[in-house]
Amino acid sequence: MIAKYSQISAKTLIKFLVSFGFEVVSQK
C-alpha cells in the first residue's frame, strides 16, 4: 500500500517538475 502510494507520488512529482521546468524555459 505504501509502495503504491509512493509510486503515484513519484509520478505526480515528475509531472509537476516537468510542467514547472517547461514554464521556466518558456519565460526565458
Q: What is the pTM of this model?
A: 0.54
At residue 5, the pLDDT reads: 80
pLDDT in tens, 1-28: 678 888 889 999 999 999 999 998 998 7
pLDDT value at residue 4? 84
Cα-based distances in Å from 7 to 3, 20, 22, 23:
6, 20, 23, 25
Alpha carbon distance 22, 1 (integer Å): 32
